[in-house]
Amino acid sequence: MRLRNTPERWGAVSQLLHWSIVLLIGWLAWRGLTMVDMPATPAKIEAYARHKSLGLTLLALVAMRLAWRLFAGSPIALPGTPSWQARLALVTHAGMYLLLFAIPLSGWLFNSASGYPLQWFGLFNLPALAGRDATLAQFARQLHGYGVWLLLALVALHAAAALYHHVVRRDATLRRMLPALSRTPAPRRPMEH
Ligand code: HEM
Ligand code: HEM
């Protein structure tokens, strides 16, 4: 399988990043929603620390993904795609990228403005994005919380569109974001003597 994207399909790097980000978002949303109501025990501190470390990991993966997409390009739209659908896909993708940056950064900002230190899996410290500020903390917290619901709404639309293409239109939209199952054998080289 090719690492780079081709005009026909997403390459291995984009696919790996797409699907690991899907898994991470699922876990982070679940952990975020459940950790806030946990009783104040060491388990809660552990849950917050893991949520933050994996949230920062996601931020790094999204930056890598965007950089790779700009470098390696993207497959061309399938022929016959109505222009309104292409525009809607573009807006949805751009919105998801925006939120994939805004959500972890607002979590980081909330953490800083609340005066907490931030570590990545206990290995190193990250700088504070702002000084202690209760109003800013409250704003960042709301952005974080509402941003997740907005992202989940876009994801639902996005996943529904992908399934519509696969099940109703029966085109290659979803397949080209999945590893190829049937591989065409590589052309053989003539034997060298
Ligand atoms: C895309 C990545 C992330 C997702 C999807 C996510 C999701 C969530 C969700 C759903 C909540 C619960 C919100 C609520 O019910 O009020 C939450 C809370 C929280 N998140 Fe994240 N989060 C992400 C990244 C981060 C990062 C990178 C940090 C910090 C560096 C962070 C720090 C926090 C904190 C401190 C809370 C608790 C807020 C409170 O106590 O009310 N999150 N997150
Ligand atoms: C957290 C969940 C998800 C996020 C944040 C997400 C995000 C994205 C983004 C930003 C793109 C645009 C690719 C780019 O320009 O870099 C994309 C492409 C794609 N996603 Fe997702 N996605 C998610 C879940 C899903 C799910 C559940 C499916 C399938 C049911 C799916 C199927 C696809 C497909 C098929 C493409 C390629 C579209 C094309 O070739 O035009 N995604 N995704």
Q: Tens digit of pLDDT per residue, the chain (193 long)?
A: 789 999 999 999 999 999 999 999 999 999 999 999 999 999 999 999 999 999 999 999 999 999 999 999 999 988 888 999 999 999 999 999 999 999 999 999 999 999 999 999 999 999 999 999 999 999 999 999 999 999 999 999 999 999 999 999 999 999 999 998 755 554 455 554 4
Spatial distance between the Cα atoms of 36 and 48, rounded to a whole number of angstroms: 9
User: 12-177 is classed in which CATH architecture?
Assistant: Up-down Bundle (1.20)
Spatial distance between the Cα atoms of 150 and 156, rounded to a whole number of angstroms: 10
Residue 26 parent element (H or E): helix 12-35
Question: Residue 115 Cα, ligand 2 centroid: separation in angstroms?
Answer: 35
**Proximal ligand: closest to the CA of 97:** 2
Q: How far is CA 60 from CA 30, 78, 106, 166, in A?
A: 20, 30, 15, 30
Q: 108, 159, 86: which is closest to 117 by C-alpha? A: 108
Q: Which residues of 135-147 are buried (b: 16+ CB within 10 A; e: fewer)?
A: ebbeebbebbbeb
Question: Residue 44 Cα, ligand 2 centroid: separation in angstroms?
Answer: 32
Q: 19, 37, 4: which is closest to 177 by C-alpha? A: 19
pTM of the model: 0.92
